[in-house]
Chain A
């Protein structure tokens, strides 16, 4: 594996660097070069593998382009580049070409936002029969021209996708994506964190990159900022539990629990300092009526509570705060 001459490596690198700017004739030369010697093809393959690996890496990308994943949230119309990604790995090629030449080869899109307020819920049925149950405090981008495409920028939703093998449904979120393979799945986005849980069928996480297949009962939690992905098992019946007020947490800080409740029910719930990092594992049944839910949650986590108008505060119990 190590016998490739330095010249060949440099030639392979040269071909890789020039690739964006090559004419049809250059490509013919490149093909002839690849074919001339298996060592050429091998050297080029190594360069290409490294570069593909690198461009698939969200952490590296983030360091120089911190706005790339967020800019869509600021503007009602997505940048072309973002939607270029939606037709697969090849679309990257289209994006590169678009930069260098006066062309624009993008799928037709007519995106719009579906925003829910904290405490609000909405059911959407897309033109293809796909149903999406959107929880409170969510920002979901849909496309009138293409019902097979959505982007969740914040909040949580359960997707009942009408499967079409020839035209799979793809959900983007930040720089990540999942693609359905005949599916009911729940997706939650909070800052740099994306959670995907599959109840039925399967989805592909990062379909054009790692293409990790998630089957029922699998829960994936990705941190885009850390470039880290964790897999766990969950009980299928708890997936999308927010729809029936059943929230399952596994070692999550209470701050996350409180955020979720605020988002789902619009409850004005505050944690005293010291409580917010305390981890919580368990299932909470909620009704959306703060008078019932807050004392229930407090009892469950072993905290005290107080009410001030519509404002609810959880605090460590006496003697608990050391």
Chain B
């Protein structure tokens, strides 16, 4: 699969990529923007073979959507500061708008710390070191489905740790407000 081949697949898959982005971003306009970004990024990639080009493109779109969602969430997370801003924060609206939810992160880290060792290490390997599940199963000496169950529970504990999370960060999904 060459670079132009990847672009050809992009054009073929465009309607489905669009649906994915609309579903994730809740806005046609933003989905169009994200598709445009994708096209540009495809330009920056060098021609090398891709085994599953369509799946690759979906992943790329999903990652772009995730990045856009976190930027949007940060734009709304006003009082949860990641930056230890000095008193200058008042005159830095730009920076204030991009503050990340430190509070939420603290909740997540607490959830990680509270996990059984095995679960936490499976999660860290998977999410942070990007180790495939098969390798995790070898390292922990359990089956692949066992790894998947561990991961599922780990994600769930992280999710539930936020049951009292600030509404600032857990944004209303824009689908609700943007029906047309």
A residues lining the B interface (CB < 8 Å):
1-2, 9-10, 13-14, 16-17, 19-24, 26-28, 30-31, 34-35, 38, 41-42, 44-57, 60-61, 63-65, 87-90, 92-97, 99-108, 208-213, 215, 218, 228-233
Residue contacts A-B, CB under 8 angstroms, 24 given: A16-B155, A17-B126, A19-B59, A23-B52, A27-B54, A35-B23, A45-B24, A48-B69, A49-B170, A54-B127, A89-B63, A90-B64, A93-B60, A96-B59, A99-B131, A103-B50, A105-B45, A210-B98, A211-B71, A212-B95, A213-B95, A213-B98, A218-B88, A228-B84
Chain A residues whose C-beta falls within 8 Å of the C-beta of B126 in the assembled complex: 17
Known A-B contacts A31-B20, A103-B50; the reply to A24 vs B86 at CB < 8 A is no
Chain A contact surface mostly: helix
Check if B170 sits within 8 Å of A46, measured CB to CB: yes
Q: Mark B144-180, 1 if CB is under 8 A from A, else 0.
A: 0000100110011011001100010111110110000
Bound together, the chains give a CA A206 to CA B88 distance in angstroms of: 20
Chain A residues whose C-beta falls within 8 Å of the C-beta of B128 in the assembled complex: 54-55, 60-61, 64-65
Check if A64 sits within 8 Å of B69, measured CB to CB: no
CB-contact partner of B88 in A34, A57, A104, A233, under 8 A:
A233
- What is the minimal beta-carbon distance from A231 to any residue of chain B, in angstroms? 5
- What is the minimal beta-carbon distance from B154 to any residue of chain A, in angstroms? 9
Check if A97 sits within 8 Å of B56, measured CB to CB: yes
- What is the minimal beta-carbon distance from A38 to any residue of chain B, in angstroms? 5
Check if B66 sits within 8 Å of A87, measured CB to CB: no
Bound together, the chains give a CA A290 to CA B52 distance in angstroms of: 62
Chain B residues whose C-beta falls within 8 Å of the C-beta of A23 in the assembled complex: 52, 55
Chain B contact surface mostly: helix
Check if B158 sits within 8 Å of A10, measured CB to CB: no
Chain B residues whose C-beta falls within 8 Å of the C-beta of A103 in the assembled complex: 48-51, 56
Chain A residues whose C-beta falls within 8 Å of the C-beta of B44 in the assembled complex: 87, 107
Chain B residues whose C-beta falls within 8 Å of the C-beta of A105 in the assembled complex: 45-46, 48, 50, 56
Chain A residues whose C-beta falls within 8 Å of the C-beta of B129 in the assembled complex: 64-65
Check if B20 sits within 8 Å of A93, measured CB to CB: no
Check if A17 sits within 8 Å of B148, measured CB to CB: yes
**Which of chain B's residues has its CB closest to A204's CB?**
B98
CB-contact partner of A46 in B62, B124, B159, under 8 A:
B159
Chain A residues whose C-beta falls within 8 Å of the C-beta of B162 in the assembled complex: 46, 50
Check if B175 sits within 8 Å of A56, measured CB to CB: no
Bound together, the chains give a CA A35 to CA B49 distance in angstroms of: 32
Check if B95 sits within 8 Å of A231, measured CB to CB: yes
